[in-house]
Chain A
């Protein structure tokens, strides 16, 4: 089973709203990722969690706030977003190779299409 689930599928929010994106996996993966993807472009890495700890933050604005409550769940809290933040937000997960910090193949969820008005 290589399933990563994401909710909601679509989200429309105003610039003053607060909303959250949710990602879940039950593959026992200990690394989880958030990506942002604009149309016809490759995904851009935002955050990486390893063993439920934030290990990489790619200089993402503070209006995006990630959270990893447990090894299966990853949230992305959104506040005061701008129209240019409209994009597809992808979550992914992967194993961490035993005895190292490196990770294995990433499996992606279906994404959340976010529109900021």
Chain B
């Protein structure tokens, strides 16, 4: 069974600084997708970034980028120039290419300090 592990239940970052959230996963599949979702206090689950396993290039979306290490099964999220609006619970998620289900990590609560 696939598992997703987020080992940092809570993290904090100073406004305008950079922070990295960790995620590791366990799978024997070769075709899969990885996601980071953000859930602010409003509790809307918002897609931050997506990575296809077959792509070697790391995905980026403005201030958000990932460090995808396929051999190490690691998928960390880097947030640059952190803003107060980045404060949220961040979930790492995995989906195989043949499945219809997301497997979520336990989440990392990010606090941004002014």
A11-41 near B? 1/0 per residue, CB < 8 Å = 0000000000000000000010000010011
Residue of B nearest to A107 (CB): B47
Contact of A100 among B98, B102, B105, B106 (CB under 8 A): B98
Query: For residue B99, which residues in chain A have a CB less than 8 angstroms away from its CB?
Result: 102-103
Contact of A42 among B47, B95, B104 (CB under 8 A): B104
Whether, in the assembled complex, B55 has its beta carbon less than 8 Å from a beta carbon of chain A, the answer is: no
Give, as a whole number of angstroms, the nearest-CB distance from A46 to chain B: 11
Decide if B45 touches A108 in the complex (CB within 8 Å): yes
For window 76-114 of B, CB contacts with A under 8 Å fall at: 89, 91, 95-102, 104-107, 109
Given A40-B107, A43-B45, A110-B43, do A102 and B97 touch, yes or no (CB 8 Å)?
yes
> What is the total number of residues of chain B having a CB less than 8 Å from a CB of chain A?
25
* Residue of A31, A40, A41, A106 with most chain B CB atoms under a 10 A cut-off: A106
Q: When chains A and B are docked, how far (Å) is the Cα of A85 from the Cα of B103?
A: 21
In addition to A42-B105, A88-B43, A102-B97, 8 A-B residue pairs with Cβ atoms within 8 Å of each other are A2-B47, A40-B107, A41-B107, A43-B104, A45-B101, A102-B99, A106-B102, A111-B45
Residues of B within 8 A of A (CB): 33, 35, 37, 42-47, 50, 89, 91, 95-102, 104-107, 109
Query: For residue A50, which residues in chain B have a CB less than 8 angstroms away from its CB?
Result: 100
Q: When chains A and B are docked, how far (Å) is the Cα of A50 from the Cα of B91?
A: 24
Whether, in the assembled complex, A74 has its beta carbon less than 8 Å from a beta carbon of chain B, the answer is: no
A89-105 near B? 1/0 per residue, CB < 8 Å = 01010000000111101
Contact of A40 among B33, B35, B89 (CB under 8 A): B89
Give, as a whole number of angstroms, the nearest-CB distance from B88 to chain A: 12
